[in-house]
């Protein structure tokens, strides 16, 4: 199993920006923790961060046929990007939307996610631990998909 973790704009500034909202942890530290979980779960994981909407769309498209799941923190593009929402819908790869802060407890313009309707689920508001929860969720989703495929194959062999 392979998971692509895609990080949106300004997440490269974690640990420096608005620590009262995002905490002191740097993006590299979050990725290191995710790598630890992935290693224990025998999951291949790759990371990508961009401040540019088009690069995020390109990365989602590049996952087609290569990745089994996507964990996406689109950051501010969550609330504005039809292009990212369309890319998620186009590739049809299970995607978990993740946010460090609780977007529903912040400014009203952050309450609406344009990408959520195209994702398997949304994890928001648990600080950097949101990424761990996203890994657990994605691992479960991929395990269930794998089990369904095996059951279908066995049913097909019996017919």
Per-residue pLDDT at 19 exceeds 80: no
Q: Which residue is it, tokens 């991929």?
A: 142
Q: How confident is the model at residue 159 (pLDDT cuts 50, 70, 90)?
A: low
> What share of the chain in percent tops pLDDT 90?
82
Summarize pLDDT for 117-149 with one digit per residue, the tens.
999 999 999 999 999 999 999 999 999 999 998
Mean pLDDT, residues 62-87 taken together = 97
Token pair of 133 as six digits: 């929860």
What domains does the chain contain, in order, with CATH numbers? 2-158 (3.40.50.9100)
Tell me which of 85-94, 132-141, 145-154 is least confident: 145-154
What are the residue numbers of the active site? 22, 99
Per-residue pLDDT at 98 exceeds 80: yes
Token pair of 73 as six digits: 């923190």
Summarize pLDDT for 20-29 with one digit per residue, the tens.
777 788 999 9
Is the model more confident about 127 or about 152? 127
* Euclidean distance between CA atoms 96 and 142, whole angstroms: 11
Summarize pLDDT for 35-60 with one digit per residue, the tens.
999 999 999 999 999 999 999 999 99
What is residue 4's three-state secondary structure?
A: strand
* Euclidean distance between CA atoms 25 and 27, whole angstroms: 7
What is residue 44's three-state secondary structure?
A: strand
pTM for the model stands at 0.93
Counted residue by residue, the chain has a size of 159
pLDDT recorded at residue 107: 85
Mean pLDDT, residues 90-99 taken together = 98
């Amino acid at each position: 199993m392979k998971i692509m973790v895609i990080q949106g704009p300004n997440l490269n500034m974690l640990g420096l920006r608005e620590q009262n909202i995002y905490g002191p942890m740097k993006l590299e530290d979050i990725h290191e923790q995710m790598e630890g979980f992935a290693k224990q779960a025998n999951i291949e994981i790759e990371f990508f961060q961009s401040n540019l909407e088009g690069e995020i769309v390109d990365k989602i498209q590049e996952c087609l046929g290569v990745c089994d799941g996507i964990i996406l923190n689109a950051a501010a593009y969550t609330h504005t990007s039809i292009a990212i929402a369309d890319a998620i819908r186009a590739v049809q790869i299970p995607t978990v939307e993740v946010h460090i802060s609780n977007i529903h407890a912040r400014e009203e313009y952050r309450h609406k996610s344009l990408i959520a309707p195209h994702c398997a689920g949304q994890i928001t508001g648990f600080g950097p631990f949101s990424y761990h929860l996203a890994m657990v969720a994605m691992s479960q989703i991929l395990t269930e998909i794998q089990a369904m495929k095996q059951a279908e194959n066995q049913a097909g062999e019996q017919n």
